Structure 1
Amino acid sequence: MLQPKYDWKVLLSNETDAQMLSELLEIHPLLAKLLVSRGMKTANEANAFLNGSVEDMHDPYLLSGMKEAVPRIMQALEYGERILVYGDYDADGVSSTTLMIQLMRRLGANFEYYIPHRSKEGYGLHIHALEEAHKRGVTLVITVDTGISAVDQIAYANNAGMDVIVTDHHEPPDFLPEAYALINPKLPYCQYPFKGLAGVGVAYKLATALLGSDVPEAWSELAALGTIADLMPLVGENRMIVRTGLKSMSQSPFPGMTALLKVAGWNKGEVTSTQVAFGLAPRINASGRMSHANKAVALLTAESSEQADMAAHELDLLNKERQSLVENIVGEAMDMLEGKEASGNLPDVIVVAGEGWNVGVVGIVASKILERYYRPTLVLGIDSDTGQCKGSARSIPGFDIYEALNHCSSLLEHFGGHPSAAGMSLHRDQLEQFDQRLNAFASDLLLPEHLIPTMTADLECSLQEITLPIIEQLEGLAPFGMDNPSPRLLIRGAKLLELRQMGKDGKHLKLTLEQHGKMIEALAFGKGEIAYLLSKDAMVDIIAEPGINEWNGSRKAQLFIQDISIPQLQVFDYRGSSHPESAIQDILERLLKLPNCQANSTAVVLNDGSDDMYNFKLKDTSLWVYDRRVGVLPKSDGVENAAAHHIRTLFVMELPKSPVIWNTILTLFTSLERVFLMHPMSKSDDVIEIPSREHFKQVYALLRRLAVVSIAEDELVQALKARTSLSRRMLAMTLDVFEELDFIERASGIITVNNAPSKRPLDSSSKYKELGWLAEMEQMMLHSRASQITEWMLAQIQEVS
């Protein structure tokens, strides 16, 4: 058994609506089901989703503030006013700033731009920057991806004689700044139909309002970059913008975009949202995190390939530095949380802070900690000189982190963001109270089910349904991203035929699955650590994304596994291992790193008094011994017999001496998920066979001849062994049966044959039955394949339950 990492859910799809869509749009039923499960019930809705373009976007003047902003900008152009484009340092802000630079250039504006330094200044408008701009003659400020909370800063600009047009998409505060114009679809009074625009999306709408149909298609590349990087929903207008932008990127007129794609591994062909999210966005963000976002703006506005190549390689190096820095801080943060986790005191909302932590990467660190613990997480860097803390938060569904920060606003100097991600600053003296207030707030909102990560599959299907033509149609749902993920398919009961690790340090897995004669390859990235928990021929359930493997002109369907489960008991074969203790410790070290695997859920079982019991050095597991009366008893200090139902992993060091014991164990270890067979293979003198009447007749006939008079048991067994193919142990157990049936008498090691025994059938002997059960168990456990042992154990569990 292998527990999935996530709690699986499957979307519901109305079969009638799906069939109608399939017929009207002439699409495969699988695609139609996906569209319906994602909320598209009519042909018009589905067609708009599949085929919508930028021409179908809403009128930009539906955005509140646009009617005031456009004339003011035109006035500034007419009179040659100095304009300041004020941006942000993340990928959305860089994209927004770059787009506005392109717009200002096209309009022939007298302009400059400014992006604050992430660690030295922090997020948002800053009065000192406005002061300097005012000295340079700026009379109009246009913000992009920032400004909606800048009440004091905009008040200063107004007093200095500068008008401010805010274009932003962050959550508006209760008290809004008195700007010349506020353009934000999330404003409560804004009637714009689509609320999910990124900051660059709002800037793109401003450009559309100013230029109309003359907006260059290439500008959609910048809008796509920021929209994907800022994890905006890829539905509605965002989907249209991103699809157009990705198409343009493959032949981009921006040298910087092409150079960045190349350092990120792109060669040629179509650019995908995945390449942007994991290739371009991190490198753009690395500029602001590790240095200054101006480097990223310089890349995207570069006018020659030479300039662009140099800038792209510089960002690539910054990104590598960022990755190393993140790894170090994550390690330090995990060390802080290790004790709390071990003691069961991990808070509902995690707050960790460290001196010298680079505030440019704390958001990434928060994401990684959230992934590990699945709790809202805040990570802050502390300035050791000033005591100032700047941090980032990442949250889970069901807990609005912006609302939580608002609840703690009296402790914060600044905060802003979205329900799922936010930033904040405060003094270290407030940290403890901040942590307490956050968790008090969470205690009223977070339920146990909120802390269980979920994964949603679009629908359940079989391997037979996953074909090239179907996958090609499913690709019509792209671009994939937030609120429009790549289709996830739930497949149950596929047999695992082959498994191998691949990549550096075996980090990834490649599986071959089979179901009803259909075979398919499946890749599981980042899941190499569970390779030893996947047994050959196991029946697996998976949630996977379909894809196409193209190699040397050949194309075939493949799956990308997102989560995997094995719902039945598994058996792993380590029989005859020369160093079983080392093997167990190696398995435990890997096992205890996985979620849902605790030290108190693992056990070793062997015979009481065994040499191994005294030699075995327990580290992270409990020791149990076989007991004929109750099946198994704990031998480790502090372990109660009642704890048997907690055991999920069992290491069998030796086989029990009675089959009854084995069956009893299966009734005690009710939560058993996996069994590792570590026992030695039997010697020839120990082998027992499933008894037959012929074998008993043969032995009895020899007894009558060899024991005409009383004979020592050792001498008799030696004589019988010389005349049969039976082992010493088998002969000894045969004599036990004869003794129970009164065929012989035993006294002080001497055996005497009863010349007038009562006529009792063999199967009336309990020892005969036990010998049969024991022989069956040992034959299975010693000589069968792991898959056969698994089936046998499952049958035993079914029988005893």
Structure 2
Amino acid sequence: MLHSKTRWQSPAADPEKNGELARSLSISPLLSSLLVQRGMNTADKARVFMDGGAEDSHDPFLLKGMAEAVPRIRKALQDEEHILVYGDYDADGVSSTALMIYLLRHLGASFDIYIPHRSNEGYGLHNHALDWALQQGVSLVITVDTGISAYHQIAYASGLGIDVIVTDHHEPPELLPEAYALINPKLPDCPYPFKGLAGVGVAYKLAEALLGSEVPEEWCEIAAIGTVADLMPLLGENRSLVRRGLTSMRNSPFPGIRALLSVSGITMSTVSAVNIAFGMAPRINASGRLDHAGRAVTLLTTSDAEEAEQFAGELDLLNKERQLVVERIVGEATAKLEERISQTGLPDIIVLAEQGWNVGVVGIVASKLLEKYYRPVIILDIHPDTGMCKGSARSIPGLDIYEALSSCAGLMDHFGGHPAAAGMSLPQDKLEDFDAALNAYAASILTPEDFVAVTAADGEVSIADLSLQAALELERLAPFGMANPLPRFILRGAAVKETRKMGQDGKHLKLVLQQDKVTIEAVAFGKGPLADLLPAGTLIDVLAELSVNEWNGSRKPQLMLQDLAVPAAQLFDLRGAADAVKQAAHIQELIRSYSGSNPVKTAAVFQNSRMSPLRELKGMSLWVYDEDAGISPLHQGDSGSDQTEITLLCLLDMPETPEQLEALFTAFPRTENIALLHSIRDGRDRLQVPTRDHFKSLYKLIASIAATATPEHEVLLRLSRQSALGVRMLGRMLDVFDELDFIKRSGGSITFVTQPAAKSLTASEHFVRLGKTAEMEQYFMEGSRGELQEFMLSRRLGAS
């Protein structure tokens, strides 16, 4: 039994609306249901969503501040003022800066750009940068993707005689800066109808206000990158910008974008928003995380193809380095958190800080810990000299992290962000109070339900619904991203027909699933080890995205697995494992991610004679087989009520008797999964189901060997030479003869009884027990997984 990592939720279907929309637009019921669920429940709305329309774009002068900003920029152009574009170091800030460079070049302006260094300077407008701007003769600063919280810095700029136009999209604070113009759709009194623009989207609207219909179409490519990278909702105007950007990108005139697509392994003709999010954006962000974002700006704005290839290659290398840095910090942060959990439990908000945690990647680390623990996470780097802490937060849907930070604003020097993500800085001596204040706030907001991760699905379907035509038709909903995710479907009760690992070191998993004779391939990246837990015949539920797999000119539908569950108890057939102890630890780790809301609890059972070290069975309850009690704990502390909570039972050795097997099921009644890890005995070492012929042959041999008292070990040795049976089997048969008085045992020797009383073999308890034990051993040694599972299920029901 494997539990899904998250709780899947799919909306109730509305067959009437779905059918009506499907008929009016001549689309499939699957596509129609998706449109209805996403609010496109009329033919007109659905057409605009799928094909676009004029209503997607709004007059840029509806943005408050635009009417003031445009004349000021025109004046600067007319008077040949020197302008400074002040950006940010993330992909949205880089894209915004690049777009402003194209705009100011187009207008023939005199300008410079400034992007702060993430580690050395941090986010936002800085006074020292304004001092530098003054030295360069700057009289107008245009901020992009930043500035809405820079109250004091903009006041400082005014004192220097520099006007500041702010273009931003972050949440406005209560105290707004007194800039020459503030352009932000989220300002409380801004009438702009679409509030979801990225920083680059606001910059694009400024370009529209200045150029009107003359904005070059290819600039949408830059807008698309920042919009997707900053996780803005792909609805309304963003959807239009990104769609147009992707269309242009397929024949991009920008050497930098072409080179970036190439190093990201993206085919230009099929580039998608998903490619931007997982291919292009991480490489652009790597520039600002580990170096300086100026390198990425140069890439996006160069006209030199050779220079573009050089910078794209550098960003690719930086991204690889970034991945290694993230991996290291995640390991350190996890160890630090686990130590805290062991002492005080898992906090509502995880706050971790340490020196040497590169401030450029702490946001990624926070995201990875959130995924693992499903708690809001704040990761901070402590400067070794100043003690200042700079960090990033990532949050779950139940907690607006910006509001949480606002509740303890007095403890921080600076903060800003969104409900789901934020950044902050504070002195090290305030960390403890910061942690306590945030957790006190969270305790008043969060409920137990908020800590259960929920994944939204788009409906429950069958494999028959997931045709190639359906997969192709779903592309009409693209581009996919925030607020318009790739459709996810729940498929229940699919049988695993084939399982195999693929990729380097078997890192990835490929399944063939079947339902009512219809099959489909499913791929799960990074889930290769799960192949051991999903043998053919397993019935599984999956949460998956539908895609098209193209190979050698053929196309077929394919599922991309996001999550899975096995509703029934499982038997993991790993018989003959080279290292049973190591394999048990591996299985425990695999199941840990699929254990649901309760942590996996494991028991390992083995023969007392086992000599291999057990140190790898950390955290497991250890048990040994016992001739009298069936099984008993290796350590007295393992015996108790906790054994009823065991969910994974690892049999390092097989039980020797039916009584030991029954004892397993009695001791561990709620076991969800059993892993068989025992060795496979050679043929002659195995027991056989006894027959009259076996005993008849043996009787004759004993008569010739033990006519007089003969040491038992010598009898067994001679019998094994003259018989096809092994010593174990022969010893058990001697027990039967002894019980029936066909032989006499005395002082370690055996004597054949020449005229025993006639007795039936079935009258012997040893004979009956040998039959049951041999049958059990046959299943454990030779039975298929299905046969063994059925055998154990029948014994388990008998034990319960």
TM-score with structure 2 setting the length = 0.88
| Equivalent position of 1:240 in the other structure | 240
Relative distance call for 1:582 and 1:800 in structure 2 (3 A) is: closer
Question: Which residue matches 1:210?
Answer: 210
In the alignment, which residue of structure 1 is the partner of 2:254?
254
Q: What secondary structure does 1:638 align onto?
A: helix
After superposition, residues 544-623 of structure 1 pair within 5 angstroms as 544-576=544-576, 580-581=580-581, 583-584=583-584, 601-606=601-606, 610-612=608-610, 619-620=617-618, 621-623=620-622
1:291-310 matched pairs, under 5 angstroms? 291-310=291-310
Query: Which residues of 2 match residues 346-425 of structure 1 at below 5 A?
Result: 346-425=346-425
- Residues of 1 paired with 2:716 and 2:330: CA distance? 67
8 A contact 1:702–1:720 mirrored in 2: no
Structure 1 residues 723 and 170 mapped into 2: Cα distance closer, same or farther (>3 Å)? Answer: same
Q: Is the 8 A contact 1:370 1:394 kept in 2?
A: yes
Structure 1 residue 244: deviation in Å? 0.9
C-alpha distance 256-686 of structure 1, shift in aligned 2 (>3 A): closer
Question: In terms of mean alpha carbon deviation, does 428-437 or 663-672 score higher?
Answer: 663-672
Note the alpha carbon deviations across 1:403-429, whole angstroms, 9 max, x for none: 111112111101101111111111111
Partner of 2:192: 192
Q: Aligned in 2, Cα 1:719/1:77: closer, same or farther, shift over 3 Å?
A: closer
**Could you report, residue by residue, the CA deviation over 1:506-551 in whole angstroms, capped at 9, with x for unpaired residues?**
3222223333322322221112343333334322222111111212
CA drift of 1:556 comes to 1.7
* Residue aligned with 1:611, SS: coil
1:302-321 paired onto structure 2 within 5 Å: 302-321=302-321
- The alpha-carbon distance between structure 1 residues 321 and 614, as it changes in their structure 2 partners (threshold 3 A), is closer
Verify the 8 A CA contact 1:575 1:681 in the aligned structure 2: no
Q: How does 1:441-460 map to 2 (within 5 A)?
A: 441-460=441-460
Measured after TM superposition, the shift of residue 177 of structure 1 is 1.6
2:143·2:167 contact (CA, 8 Å) conserved in 1? yes
User: Counterparts of 1:209 and 1:577 in 2: how far apart (Å)?
Assistant: 70
Q: How many residues of Structure 1 are paired with residues of Structure 2 in the alignment?
A: 792
Residue 97 (structure 2) aligns with: 97
Does the 8 Å contact 1:370/1:395 carry over to 2?
Answer: yes
Distance in 1, Cα, partners of 2:459 & 2:592: 33
Structure-2 change in CA distance of 1:745 and 1:187 (3 Å): same
Cα gap change, 1:322 to 1:626, in 2 (>3 Å): closer
Q: Secondary structure at the match of 1:375?
A: coil
Change (3 A) 1:597 1:162: closer
Does 2:489 match 1:489?
yes
SS across alignment from 1:352: strand
TM-score (norm 1): 0.88
* Distance across 1 between alignment mates of 2:722 and 2:314: 84
Structure 1 pair 51/631, CA: closer, same or farther in 2 (3 Å)?
farther
Residue 11 of structure 1 corresponds to which residue in structure 2?
A: 11
Q: Which runs of 5+ in 1 are unaligned?
A: none
2:635 matches 1:636: yes
**How far is the alpha carbon of 1:682 from its aligned partner?**
6.8
User: In 2, distance between residues paired with 1:687 and 1:393?
Assistant: 62
Q: Are residues 1:37 and 2:43 paired?
A: no
Code of the aligned partner of 2:624? V
CA distance in 2, matches of 1:187, 1:476: 33
Change in 2 beyond 3 A, CA 1:793/1:17: farther
Q: Distance in 1 between matches of 2:396 and 2:297?
A: 32
Contact 1:142 1:165 in 2 (8 A): yes
Task: State how far apart, in whole Å, the 2-side matches of 1:495 and 1:173 are.
Answer: 54
Question: CA separation of 1:795/1:135 partners in 2, compared to 1, >3 Å: closer, same or farther?
Answer: same
Q: Given the alignment of the two structures, is residue 83 of structure 1 paired with residue 77 of structure 2, yes or no?
A: no
Deviations 1:554-585 (A, max 9, x none): 21221211112222232233434565445545
For residues 633-661 of structure 1, give each alpha carbon's deviation from its aligned partner in whole angstroms, at most 9, with x where no partner exists. Answer: 32224212322223222222444344354
In 2, Cα distance between equivalents of 1:114 and 1:285: 16
Asked if the contact 1:711/1:752 (under 8 Å) is kept, the reply is: no
C-alpha distance after superposition, 1:114-137 (max 9, x if no partner): 222222221111223223334444
Q: Contact between 2:591 and 2:600, CA under 8 Å: does it hold in 1?
A: no
Instruction: Tell me how far 1:226 sits from its aligned partner.
Output: 0.2
Aligned-residue CA RMSD in angstroms?
A: 3.8
Distance in 2 of aligned mates of 1:264 and 1:696: 70
For the residue of structure 2 that corresponds to 1:335, the secondary structure is helix
Secondary structure of the structure 2 residue equivalent to 1:444: helix
Q: CA 1:633–1:420 in 2, change beyond 3 Å: closer, same or farther? A: same
Q: Is the 8 A contact 1:745 1:753 kept in 2?
A: no
**Residue 178 of structure 2 aligns with which residue?**
178
Distance 2:630 2:54 in 1: 71
Q: After alignment, is 422-431 or 204-213 more displaced? A: 204-213
Deviation at 1:31, TM superposition (A): 1.3
Is the 8 Å Cα contact of residues 710 and 753 (structure 1) preserved in structure 2? no
Distance of 1:305 and 1:265 partners within structure 2: 17
Deviation per CA, 1:426-458: give whole Å up to 9, x if none.
111112221222222222223333333332221
Partner of 1:201: 201
Deviates more, 1:624-633 or 1:228-237: 624-633
Residues 671 and 10 of structure 1: CA distance in aligned 2, closer, same or farther (over 3 Å): farther
Q: Summarize the Cα distance change of 1:26–1:710 in structure 2 as closer, same or farther, 3 Å threshold.
A: farther
- Superposition deviation, residue 171 in structure 1: 0.8
Amino acid at match of 1:650: L
How do residues 781-796 of structure 1 correspond to structure 2 at under 5 angstroms?
781-796=780-795
Mean CA deviation greater in 775-784 or 416-425? 775-784
Moved more, 748-757 or 786-795: 748-757
Instruction: Confirm or deny: 8 A CA contact 1:592 1:598 kept in the other structure.
Output: no
Take 1:618 and 1:100, find their aligned partners in 2: how far apart are those partners?
Answer: 58
Structure 2 partner of 1:535: 535
> What is the rounded CA distance, in whole Å, between the counterparts of 1:481 and 1:625 in structure 2?
53
